[in-house]
Amino acid sequence: MDDDQSAEETAFVVEEVSSIVKESLEAVIGRNPYEHKRVNQWMSSVVEQCLGQLSKLGKPFKYIVTCIIMQKNGAGLQSASSCFWDNTTDGSCTVRWENKHLYCIVSVFGLAI
């Protein structure tokens, strides 16, 4: 039965995932400036929307979605990730998004079950 499943259905497709992430960022944050009171709610919405869309893809994956929202202030940020997994089935995708007032980095890690 496993042989019948095509590779596309069980692979981590980066384009799909990145378009899901970009859409939810545009929808939730859009052009808004950094507002301290709202950023918590934005973060939850972005991440939950992404996770909802990812689970709708119906692939046999466990997902981890992380989001960093930072005000544009001239400060620097470096980020790295290191993963111990199965390179043939698992994948990750990082989307760096910015508007005039803030930066947003969303990383999605997909691990095959």
Contact residues toward other proteins (CB under 8 A) are 7, 11-12, 14, 18, 22, 25-26, 30-31, 34, 36, 39-40, 43-44, 47-48, 51, 54-55, 62-100, 103, 105, 107, 109, 111, 113
Give DSSP secondary structure letters for 7-73. Answer: GGGGS--HHHHHHHHHHHHHHHTTTPPP-HHHHHHHHHHHHHHHHHHHHHT--SEEEEEEEEEEE-S
Cβ at position 4, least distance to other proteins in Å: 13
Q: Which is nearer to other proteins, 4 or 83 (CB)?
A: 83
Cβ at position 76, least distance to other proteins in Å: 5
Q: 33 Cβ partners below 8 Å, 6+ apart?
A: 100, 101, 102
8 A C-beta contact, residue 70 and residue 103? yes
Q: Which is nearer to other proteins, 4 or 113 (CB)?
A: 113
Q: Which is nearer to other proteins, 4 or 31 (CB)?
A: 31
Helix (H/G/I), strand (E/B), else coil: 4: helix
Cβ at position 106, least distance to other proteins in Å: 10
